[in-house]
Chains A and B, each alone.
Chain A
Amino acid sequence: MSVIELNSLNTVPAVQLRKATAEPLWLRWLLTALALGFLTLFLLLPLVIVFGEAFAKGWGVYLAAITEPAAAHAIKLTLIAALIAVPCNVIFGLAASWAIAKFRFSGKQLLITLIDLPIAVSPVIAGLSFMLIFGARGWWGEWLNEHDLGVMFAVPGIVLVTIFITFPYVARELIPLMQEQGREQEEAALTLGASGWQTFWRVTLPSIKWALLYGIILCNARAMGEFGAVSVVSGKIREQTNTMPLHIEILYNEYQFAAAFAVSSLLALLALLTLLLKSTLEWRAAKDYAEAAKLRQVE
């Protein structure tokens, strides 16, 4: 069993020798095949069927499904919700990670747990909670009604729950990175006479830019795809409070499968784009990191 690989470059062994720390070839093949089979079944096939069904009735039906007024309005509303929710959560993510990573205070672990809460809370519960505040019979429902301010079953409600659901994503990307980076660089900048904001813009921000970008992309994908929470608060009024995922549900329940998958394919494209950008950003971050390490070595 224990065949030790001899590092002889010139002699090609008749039987492929195996390192003691590697598995036999058949096992490697078997494990790889099992893993790829599992991923094909659970990741690739769902993706393929979305595009397959979307084009099942041809380009004409596809284009009609994504350009009809109800679909166009749903797309617009989804974009609006993401455009408001993402910047709010970016500001929050920056503030929270600055406080958590650069300072010591008691209750920090609890604060991190609380920031993670929306990831663990069921989206239905998120929607329900906002309903209990802004809904007709909620805390502020009557006051809002008197002043003719619609929050539930209107755009503000959709934006609010989207913010709730997506708010940990930027902070989660930044906190571990900034904790690892420590605060020596910022302290050096301040000692050299930079102001607080200058330090933030010129020292902190450049060193976290890739993680920040990834957080934004992930937050955006989540914001555009949120279904459970939005479906509680939206009321699903066509051309008024329907987002893309809700529009998909309506089409699907009306047995308009080709149309439902056509709108889905747009969100699937967004997901693929998100993954592509993520890989690119990780690659860029690794490159920056390697370059920085090389510079340090030269010094």
Chain B
Amino acid sequence: MGFFSKRKKSVLPGFGLSMGFTTFYLSLIVFIPLSALLLKSFELSLADFWQVVTTERAIASYQLTFGASLVAALVNLVFGLLVAWVLVRYSFPGKKIVDALVDLPFALPTAVAGIALTALYAPNGWIGQYFHALGIKVAYSAFGVTLALIFIGLPFVVRTVQPVLEDIDKELEEAAASLGANRLQTFCRVIFPALIPSLLTGFALAFARAIGEYGSVVFISGNMPFRTEITPLLIMSRLEQYDYAGAAALGTVMLLISFLLLLLINALQHWSNQRQGGTK
């Protein structure tokens, strides 16, 4: 199997078949296309590559993409913890439905989310009209982009924190309380530290997802170059001008960032699993 070689003999059959098919499929669907992207961007000289990925318009798009993604992931960090806490610790009517609904952003097509959020936050929309009265522009601004990214990343923190919170031993909290800690101290010193790895994992997942998001943002952003244009959209407009190498260069930058984030997430998850296993 070359790179992925089996280390220990197992009695189970099918390693060659399943591993062979997996690597074949992965190469066909992922490696070949992504290497085409990298190779295309290498057609540019290093100076040209640098020039393409650092134009003023590109820099503005990175600022919006990463800035809005960061803010959205932070909002999700805070509210994700809150939602997970309420779902695990408290009971209220309709809790099961609410719990199921948290996954909506995974299941709802991004284009549908995009037009729904735009309709809500447009100057004459249900919510947008109140902001409009205050003179705040929500749709067609960076604010709107952030809202769409909050929607997209909402389930991640909730779903990574929820199982860890469920597993926390009540006895630890009882011990803290009997030693004289009040609720806030117990939360800050006992519960919160146990949640940190899962919070970070959820944050990184929401951030990674937000960076690449296209469908929901494209409707609510208004797509004005330099102001509300995210990087994936800039790639799209390069493509429409048949500037394939330029599009590939920008794509390569984003791909590298995504891959690094993914490695970070895996490391965080590994840490999180170890921590969880350690407390038992």
Q: Give A contacts to B, CB under 8 Å.
A: 1-2, 20-24, 28, 31-32, 34-36, 38-39, 41-47, 49-50, 53, 91-92, 94-96, 98-99, 102-109, 111-126, 128-133, 135, 137-139, 160, 163-164, 167, 183, 186-187, 190-191, 196, 199-200, 218, 221, 224-228, 231-232, 244-246, 248-249, 252, 257, 260-261, 264, 267-268, 270-272, 274-276, 278-279
Contacts and interface: CB of A to CB of B under 8 A. Distances in A.
B271 interface: no
A188 to B, nearest CB: 10
Interface in B107-138: 107-113, 115-117, 119-120, 126-127
A225 B101 contact: no
* Contact residues on B (Cβ < 8 Å of other chain), bracket: 35 or more
A279 B109 contact: no
Contacts of B236: 124, 231-232
Contact of A279 (B14, B96, B248): B96
B17 interface: yes
A183 B14 CA distance: 13
14 contacts: A21-B173, A43-B154, A45-B120, A95-B25, A99-B22, A104-B7, A111-B26, A116-B262, A120-B258, A122-B211, A125-B37, A131-B239, A225-B107, A271-B107
B61 to A, nearest CB: 12
B150 to A, nearest CB: 6
B26 A225 contact: no
B10 A32 contact: no
A121 B255 contact: yes
Given A122-B214, A225-B110, A271-B108, 4 more contacts: A36-B86, A38-B83, A39-B101, A43-B101
Contact of B117 (A32, A46, A274, A275): A46
Contacts of B15: 99, 102-103, 105
Interface of A is mostly: helix
Interface string B10-54: 111111011101100110011011101100100000000000000
Contacts of A249: 111, 219
A31 B90 CA distance: 9
Contacts of B59: none
Given A117-B262, A187-B11, A132 B101 contact: no
Contacts of A244: 109
A105 B7 contact: yes
Contacts of B40: 132
A158 to B, nearest CB: 14
Given A53-B119, A129-B37, A122 B258 contact: yes
Contacts of B244: 131-132, 135, 137
Contacts of A111: 4, 22, 26
Contact of B214 (A39, A104, A163, A228): A228
The 9 closest A-B pairs by CB, nearest first: A225-B109, A122-B212, A129-B33, A228-B214, A20-B177, A227-B215, A196-B13, A271-B107, A46-B116
B139 interface: no
Interface string B139-171: 000000000001100100000000000000010
Contacts of A105: 1, 4-7, 15, 19
Contact of A103 (B12, B33, B151): B12
A132 B36 contact: yes
Interface string B50-76: 000000000000000000000000000
B21 A23 contact: no
A104 B13 CA distance: 13
A104 B102 contact: no
A49 B119 contact: yes
B112 A267 contact: yes
Nearest to B155: A43
Contact of A99 (B19, B33, B154, B219): B19
Contacts of B174: 20-21
Contact of B82 (A38, A231, A274): A38
A186 B104 contact: no
B197 interface: no
Nearest to B147: A42
A46 B152 CA distance: 12
**B107, B120, B244, most chain A CB atoms within 10 A:** B107
Contact of B209 (A104, A120, A221): A120
B5 A128 contact: no
Nearest to B92: A32
Given A31-B90, A248-B115, A279 B18 contact: no
Contacts of A271: 104, 107-109, 112
Contacts of B83: 35, 38-39
Interface in B213-237: 213-215, 219, 231-233, 235-236
Contact of A164 (B30, B231, B258): B30
Contacts of B113: 46
Contacts of B29: 160, 163-164, 167
B266 interface: yes
Contact of A268 (B11, B87, B108): B108
